[in-house]
Structure 1
Amino acid sequence: MLVPHENCIREVDFLRWPGKAIEEAIDMAREDDLSLLLLHSHPGGYFEFSLQDDRSDQLTIPCIFQALGRLHGSAIMLPQGEMLARVYRDDMKPQKLELVALADDNMRLWWADESFHKRPMAFGAESRRELHRLTAAVIGASGTGSICMEQASRLGFGRLIVVDYDKVEEKNLNRILNTSIADIGELKVDVLVRAVTTHRGPDVSVPVPTTIFDREAVLQVSQADVIFCCVDSKEGRQIADLIASAFLIPLFDVGVCIPTRRKDDDIAILDVCARIDYVRPGGPTLADRGVYTQASLRAEFLKRTAPKQYDQEVQDGYIKGTLEEAPSVISLNMRATADMMLEFISRMYPFRHDSNKKYSRRQLSFAAGEEEYIPETGFTTGINPLLARGAQEPLIGLPALNSKGA
């Protein structure tokens, strides 16, 4: 909510905005039970709260508490975009937020202790030290998910949340890293967490042995700094998309497929494909990009809940045949997942000769030996009512995830 310049008193080292602006913000916040964060600039580049800032907060924040209660705070911004924020509770003792992050074409991080003020170089020890402060969520623990977990843990993430409800089967052993015959029947997340523990120690990985459609899984993933979506379903991608929008978390999604066609009595491979999407908060979502549609979501729902009706509608032509995700080609999974992780690194610690703006989506055709890059402008960004909703009920806009009594 911007306060017009002409309504403020502005000097080199002083700013006063009208009380009416805060009253209007309180009215808006009351509708959805929100907190207020009072933000102003330090054009001189001072990356700290001034004594004047302290005095102002001590006068203003208690008034907001009387009107709204809960948690409120203030923040400063420097000319290059750096931000420092703090919050107050009822005792009016300021608590600095450890990190303010902005996910744009590049992912920008500002630490309250001014660590990594000079951004680390990609692939170096400093980047590993910074990643040790961050949490990554990996949704899916199978073909691409296990590879993502292996790379994320060795890159140095301080905490890894892995979500999957499924158990290891013999047919999985050809594509899930760190699984063995002895693991058959165990939860995939438990096997991957145990593998990470062997080289990172305990308390790094957090297993969430449930579907991503579960309320607790959504809340766990919402606490991550970045989401890696490694599922083979449209429905799973939709949930990851909704979490990223509601909680303003950058999302990386990987998909692989091998389209085929019948040639006489044989099956012929048309292509071997991989796709990597980077979705920043406020940008075109996976839905905007056509990764899933209402028709494809309905098809998956029918296939899972009413397989006979699904088969009949496929025959009748109501449901278009969808490309099957390649479930067992580990070489393709390795390449696609590695490209996804490199995409993340390039956003955190830019190393490309060109701007990251060009690479919102990467599409690889291994049969044709081609790679295509699509910028955000290649998609139409629709209205996103979930953007920045946080944990408001219904959670991520789905009544099925309501808490008890909500």
Structure 2
Amino acid sequence: MMSQAFDLTILEPHWSRLHGLLDTGGAEASAYALLGRATIGADPWTGSPRTRLVSHEIHPIADAEKISASPVHVTWATGGFMRLLSEAMCADLVPALIHTHPGSSAFFSKQDNANEAELARTAGIKGVRGLVSIVLGGDGSVCARIWLPDGTRVDMAHIQVVGGRLRRWGGPTAGDGAIEHLDRQARLFGSGFNPLVRSLQVGVIGCGGTGSPVAMMLARLGVGHLLLVDDDTVEVTNLNRVHGSRRSDVGVPKVDVLEREIVAADLGVRVAKWKGWANDSGARDALRSCDVILGCTDDNAGRVLINRLAYFYGIPVIDVGLRMRARSVDASFDIHGRVTTLVPGRPCLICGGFINPRRAAEEALERTDPAEFKRRKAEAYVEGGGDPAPAVVTFTTEMAAVAVNEVLALLTGFHGDGGMVPTRYRRFHLRDDRFLGVASKPGCPVCETEWSWGRGDIQPFLDLVG
């Protein structure tokens, strides 16, 4: 089997359920889980394969199967484990064992090694694609590994819990060396902040008025790996707001302009790019490799994609939108900006009313079958694009800064333990901010039913048809 890295994401709602199940007052406790899988053929920054595992379901161990427990051991019958393996096989998921070490840090004991080896052999006989083991320490530490079908075991490169906050174990630490040009922000957020930011792989979808300043600010913050996604080239009318662009760049892909400027700054940022639509199948490995995605696109089809990515793969998405218009009647203005953050447990963009599903379908048709789109437009079956929307650099850049501040909230909780704000709505013309209390619609297959949470790879991709 080709050597590859593994990492594990536990969704915040699942993390909370685990702690509720495993808080036994000092004795070791255990539970099961099923994990979704993102099989990444080539990480865009390294070119190497990797697999991201994401919590999909938490399964308690039935009281009738619990045998004994103490501060240093826990045993249970394996009937539930066999049922777990059958469910994993049917749904193409990865089974996981979780147990606690309440009196110590997280580590794998000799007894763990022996017991798990036997369970992993059983999983292999059943045809399951690996068995994950997770240990939660009483001091808040976490460790995890996967047993592969050939009997080898691989430690997770890192483990993270994803919700309004992102917490990560493994990977770079504060002792990995100071980054001189980031000293001032370490003085605010602490010595562990810069290594964490340096380890992140962040995608920016859309490299125009909001995406270009977002990318520039992320590079200045010290994000180690940036993915730039955009299909457009620079036009003359973009020069008023696309950061880094020059008149000589007219006709040059926007991703190339941003890459040039970020590389020229020589801040140690590795840039990957995709000149194309985010919906293109060739972009999937790159998108699934990201730890955070900032949606800076103004099209509905792109928002449908990133909306589902957040839930299927547990990747925090920060979506930016602006709307500007001048009122012809009283010579006043309506200038609105919005930043919405998406993680499992929060409402999606559809439930928030921030996506027009009809326009999303029309945009997809225009890209995949332009002739059919023109025919339908001529017969008034599709709306098509109207006049270009107004855009002013100060407003687009300000909302870009609001979005990047939500990345900081995700990593530091600087404006509260809840981390990212679900939806911030700025009305520039009225000089106020609103924090919208959007709710999931009953039965929403993306954000309310939990079916998509951490589901990972399925066919069709993201359960999108067409």
TM-score, normalised relative to structure 2 = 0.75
CA distance, structure 1, for counterparts of residue 288 and residue 400 of structure 2: 22
Q: Does 1:178 align with 2:244?
A: yes
**Match 2:400 to one of 316, 337, 341:** 337
Once the 2 structures are TM-superposed, how far is the Cα of residue 109 of structure 1 from its aligned partner?
1.7
**In 1, Cα distance between the equivalents of 2:193 and 2:267?**
20
Number of the residue aligned with 1:222 = 288
Find 1:374's aligned residue among 430, 433, 436: 436
| Helix, strand or coil at the partner of 1:258 | strand
Shift of 1:259: 3.5
Structure 2 residue runs without a partner (length 5+): 1-58, 176-185
Between the aligned partners of 1:166 and 1:194, the Cα distance in structure 2 is 16
The offset of 1:4, in angstroms, is 2.3
- Give the superposition deviation at 1:268: 3.9
For structure 1, the 5+ residue unaligned runs are 401-406
Q: What secondary structure is seen at the aligned counterpart in 2 of 1:220?
A: helix
Given that 2:219 and 2:267 are in contact with CA atoms closer than 8 Å, whether structure 1 keeps it comes out as no
One of 138, 149, 154 as aligned partner of 2:215 = 149
How far apart are residue 367 of structure 1 and its match? 0.6
For residue 74 of structure 2, the aligned residue among 3, 8, 15 is 15
Q: Deviations over 1:181-238 (max 9, x none)?
A: 2222221111111211112367700011111110121221111001110001111111
Percentage identity across aligned positions?
24
Match of 2:108 in 1: 49
Of 426, 439, 445 in structure 2, the residue corresponding to residue 364 of structure 1 is 426
Aligned to 2:157: 98
Partners of 2:417 and 2:441 in 1: CA distance: 20
2:341–2:422 CA contact under 8 A, matched in 1: yes
SS in structure 2 at match of 1:359: coil
Q: 1:124 to 1:41 in 2, by over 3 A?
A: closer
Partner of 2:229: 163
Deviation at 1:92, TM superposition (A): 2.9
Greater RCO structure (CA 8 Å; 6+ sep)? 2
Corresponding residue of 1:198: 264
**Helix, strand or coil at the partner of 1:143:** coil
Aligned positions, number: 388
Aligned to 2:355: 292
Question: Structure 1 residues 278 and 122, CA, compared in 2 at 3 Å: closer, same or farther?
Answer: farther
Q: CA deviation at 1:93?
A: 3.3
CA shift at 1:174, angstroms? 1.4
Call closer, same or farther: CA 1:115–1:325 in 2, change over 3 Å: farther
- Which residue does 2:11 correspond to in 1? none
Over 3 Å counting, the alpha-carbon distance change for 1:303 and 1:26 in structure 2 is closer
8 A Cα contact 2:224 2:269, kept in partner: no
Paired with 2:149 and 2:406, the residues of 1 have a C-alpha distance of: 42
Quick check: which one's strand share is greater? Answer: 2
Alignment of 1:315-334 (within 5 A): 328-334=391-397
The whole-number CA distance in structure 2 between the counterparts of 1:103 and 1:187 is 33
2:199 to 112, 125, 133: 133
Tell me, yes or no, if the aligned pair for 1:225 and 1:250 is still in contact at 8 Å.
Answer: yes
Structure-2 residue corresponding to 1:70? 129
Q: Provide TM-score, normalisation by structure 1.
A: 0.86
Residue 2 (structure 1) aligned with residue 60 (structure 2): yes
Aligned to 2:60, the other structure's residue is in SS state coil
Corresponding residue number in structure 1 for 2:277: 211
